[in-house]
Each structure stands twice: as C-alpha cells, then as structure tokens.
Amino acid sequence: MSEFNDKIIGGRGSKIYNFIVPKILNSFYKKVLKDISLSSCHGMILDVGSGPGTLAISMAKANRDSKVYGIDISDDMITIAQRNAQKEGITENIQFIKADIANLPFDDKTFDLIVSTFSLHHWGRVPEAVKECYRVLRKDGMLCIYDFSRVDYAKPGKEFRKSASTLFGKDSEFKTIKFGFIPMVLKYSVKK
C-alpha cells in the first residue's frame, strides 16, 4: 500500500473516512443497491474495498438470506466495519476480513456477486485483481465496479478494461452514470 493510501485508510484517516463517507455516499449506495438488483441475489456477496462497511452492511440488511463478506487491506477499516455492523445489529450474515484483492482468501466459484465502490483507483495490481475476481465468481455471477470516471483514463481503468474483456469476454459493459455531486461515476459490469 502506498504512503498516501496508508494515510487515507489507516490510523486516524480511517476514523475520518468512517465519519465522512456514510454521510456523503449514503444516497449513492442506495442507487448501487437498486442497480445491482440485490433483492434477486440470495447467495454469496463480496464487497471489495469495503472500508467502514457501509455498503456491505446495507447489502446484509437488505437481504438477510445472503452471506456478505467485506474485504479491505486496512486493519483499521476492518475493525471499524466490524464495529459498525455490531452497532447496526447485523452480525449473522456478514463478515469482514483483511485481504488483498489480488490474493483473495476464498475458494474458486464462491460468490454470486462481487461489488466494489470507489476502490479501483487504489488497486495496485489490477490484472491480478481481475483474475482473482474471475476465479472466485460463480458461473452466471456478476462483477460490478463503481469508481470515478477519471479512473477510466488512468492506468487502473485501462488495465481493468483490458483484463475484464480478456477474461469475461464481449459481455463486459462499461458505462458512465451521472450521480449527484460526483460529476461522473463509471460502472464496469461483467457477467461470468
């Protein structure tokens, strides 16, 4: 993890992030929940780069039949996410694990849905991360990545498009969606 990322998602930065993110992105997370049609997903869900767990907790609350895993590279974020889940009374169908997206601690074909919001720009090894997502995604599973549209023109976005198109084929969907104060959000959506 870079020194910049350490400051943002570790130590004091994680506490500030936990305070700010739910307030700023709550309505965006509601849009994501609607977009991914969570009500039709009754299986295993992975939230990559879950940070303070806001989206993972929302997914676990919205569908109690699912098992939701949130992963993050930061010990501090995992601790905060676990605490937030306990505060919300969501402990049965959710688990937070420290993990690197490029080396996931899950068996092949584990997840029906993998979601990531605003973490792609932090991924250091994008091709490896995409391969890992492909490996742990079940047949007919869906991978949805949401990030700032500027990421698409930077190295992470280009690497993601190339890797996803290679592994997932022509059904890869890349579209820009507008959302509130965030000028543009790019949604990468691929189905296995």
Q: Which of 32, 31, 29 is nearest to 52 (CA)?
A: 29
Which has more pLDDT, 75 or 176?
A: 75
pLDDT at position 133 is 93
pLDDT at position 146 is 86
For range 18-24, the mean pLDDT: 72
Instruction: Tell me the residue ranges of DSSP E strands in the chain.
Output: 44-48, 67-72, 94-98, 111-117, 137-148, 173-179, 182-191
Within 13 Å of residue 147, how many CA atoms lie on the same side as its CB?
24
Which has more pLDDT, 82 or 177?
A: 82
Which residues, including other chains, have CB under 8 Å from residue 89's CB and lie 6 or more apart? none
Tokens of 76: 């501090």
CA distance 20 to 43: 30
C-beta of residue 154 within 8 angstroms of C-beta of residue 136: no
For range 20-40, the mean pLDDT: 77
Task: Give the chain's mean pLDDT.
Answer: 82
DSSP 100: B
CA distance 70 to 90: 13
pLDDT band at 67 (very low <50, low <70, confident <90, very high): very high
Which residues, including other chains, have CB under 8 Å from residue 79's CB and lie 6 or more apart? none
Within 13 Å of residue 85, how many CA atoms lie on the same side as its CB?
27
Distances (CA, A) of 182 to 27, 29, 149: 12, 13, 9
Query: For a pLDDT cut of 70, what percent of the chain falls above it?
Result: 75
For range 72-82, the mean pLDDT: 94
CA distance 157 to 68: 26
User: 10 Å Cβ neighbour count for 47?
Assistant: 28
- Which domains does the chain show, CATH number per domain? 3-191 (3.40.50.150)
Q: Which of 131, 2, 6, 25 is nearest to 77 (CA)?
A: 6
| Each residue's pLDDT tens digit, 126-154 | 889 999 999 999 998 888 888 876 655 55
pLDDT at position 92 is 94
